[in-house]
Amino acid sequence: MTREELFAKREQKLKEKRMRRLMVIGGIIAALLLVFLIVRIATGRVSKKPGADSSVKTTEQTGASAGTTVSRTTETQSTAGTQGSTETAGTAQGVTETPAAQMTDETVSADDTAVKGTTDYTAEGINGWNDSGSGRWYKTAEGQQYMSGWKTLDGSRYFFKADGFAATGWEMADDGNMYYFNEDGTWDSTQKQKLVALTYDDGPSWNTDLILDVLGQYNAKATFFVVGVNQADFYTSELLREYNEGMEIANHTYEHVILSKSDGDTITHQISANDELIKSLTGYDMTLLRAPGGGTNDTVHEFVNKPLIQWDVDTLDWQTRDAANTLATIKEQVRDGSVILMHDLYQATAEATVDIVPTLYHMGYKMVTVSELAEAYGYTLENGVEYYSFYPEESPDPEIRAAHGGQA
């Protein structure tokens, strides 16, 4: 799905939500008026001409309801999620026929996962490799083509996408990992995927849906550090979507209280109250904490009952509110094992994510949760300990450290 399509869907969903809420509020107002009339009749105080006081009260009630509606609908813009890759199947135009003499060895390998099928352009090609404006594809002796998996041809490994074209550049294969393929489609085993954790604070909010839409397109995961009051308890559908789509939900305190300025009882309450709220809404037990503002001290270390997750890439999105700046900061500072700080409270951050996710994907980064990143690179998370990054070359595991250029 293109950037324009994402935003168009977002606007359409906003209009639909507005209409539904107006209908609900209209029904509520009508029901209240009916109850009011019934009560007046029952008490024998019905007046043919309502007085000024009655009119004023009705207007005030209606205004209050409308105000609530405007506030919520303004903040609940979202986009219907579209998961999966958006690669477009190529056409048969510009097909360059490969001589039949160059037919390659189709010997089946135990590691092959590709299936055989046909597309709109299969009949146009000849047996063996074919080239078109959309890429290379392979026609089998049975008149089909390989798609959706790995295939060994003439001793080289290829990954065919769902549209039948051989992958080039960085591509996520069917095992969920990233692999690099040369321009001719051959797998380059010397190139290794990198891992990064995208994190979003202060949500959920009306921007969360757009972020989830983009993550879903690239099979990417993120960690959302959520606030309880006025966020998780208000944007419950967005919170549930995070949970249902396999994102990591983590604690950002119940009321966004600065823990480094709080006593032990307050720290304990802010963490436990948020734990209980999220548990009641999703059934999920949060295991990570990010202190608001990242502020910690000895008291925080003593009273928190979770690992403290900081960051090594600070986008300053809360300050700049500029999507281009957020993207540029990430491209400049990201490295294997980074933890990126953003906030889904801001529309500019959601819009930046539309570009951030595909950019990192094509840079060879697999986007994972904080817990997945720590585990993959051999870090054991401990309560009360701060973690800024999970660089593999600094891993506690000597084998992981050596494999990524660190000291054995």
Q: What is the pLDDT of residues 84-125, one digit of tens each?
A: 333 333 333 344 444 443 445 566 677 899 999 999 999 999
In the predicted model, is pLDDT for residue 8 greater than 80?
no
pLDDT at 110: 79
Mean per-residue pLDDT, 146-164 = 97
Identify whether 256 is a catalytic site residue: no
Residue 40: φ, ψ to 5°: -65, -40
Respond yes or no: is residue 362 known to be catalytic. Answer: no
Q: What is the pLDDT of residue 48?
A: 38
**Distance (Å, whole) CA 55 – CA 250:** 48
**Catalytic residue (choose from 201, 209, 213, 322):** 201
Give the per-residue pLDDT at 98: 40
Query: pLDDT tier at 334 (50, 70, 90 boundaries)?
Result: very high
Mean pLDDT of the chain: 84
Query: Count of CB atoms within 10 A of residue 128's CB?
Result: 19
Residue with token string 């890439």? 313
Q: Which residue has the higher pLDDT, 110 or 11?
A: 110
Percent of the chain surpassing pLDDT 70: 77
Q: What pTM, to 2 d.p., does this model score? A: 0.76
Does residue 71 carry a pLDDT above 50? no
**Taking 60 as the threshold, does the pLDDT of residue 44 lie above it?**
no
* 20 pLDDT tier (thresholds 50, 70, 90): low
Task: Given the residues 252, 275, 343, 344, select the one marked as catalytic.
Answer: 343
The sign of the CA dihedral 397, 400, 406, 408 is positive
pLDDT at 34: 77
- Average pLDDT of span 296-307: 98
Q: Give 111-165 as a DSSP string.
A: T---EEE--TTGGGS-SEEEEETTEEEEE-TTS-EEESEEEEETTEEEEE-TTSP
Say if CB 377 and CB 396 are below 8 A apart.
no
Cβ-in-10-Å burial (0-12, 13-18, 19+) of 369 comes to buried
- 129 CB-near residues (< 8 Å, 6+ apart): 98, 102, 104, 136, 137, 138
Which pLDDT belongs to residue 122? 93
C-alpha closest to that of 98 among 177, 26, 153, 21? 153
Give me the pLDDT at residue 184, please: 97
For residue 266, what pLDDT is reported?
A: 98
* Greater pLDDT, 159 or 52: 159
The token pair at 90 is: 């190529």
248: which strand partners? 223
SS3 state at 331: helix
Q: Say if residues 199 and 215 touch (Cβ distance below 8 Å).
A: no
Q: Is the pLDDT of residue 43 over 70?
A: no
Residue 18: pLDDT band by 50, 70, 90 thresholds? low
- Across 221-230, average pLDDT: 98
DSSP at 47: -
- The b/e string for 289-318 (b: 16+ C-beta within 10 A; e otherwise) is bbbbebebeebbeebbebbbbbbbbbbebb
- 329 φψ region: left (φ > 0), alpha (ψ -120 to 50), beta (else): alpha
**How far is Cα 114 from Cα 105, in angstroms, rounded to an integer?**
15
Residue 352 has pLDDT above 60, yes or no: yes
> Average pLDDT for residues 348-359, to the nearest whole number?
98
Mean pLDDT of 274-293: 98
Average pLDDT, integer, range 301-329: 98
**pLDDT class for 192, splitting at 50, 70, 90?**
very high
- Whether the CB-CB separation of 54 and 185 falls below 8 Å is answered with no
> What is the structure's pLDDT at 91?
38
CB 239 within 8 A of CB 232: yes
| Confidence band for 194, pLDDT divided at 50, 70 and 90 | very high
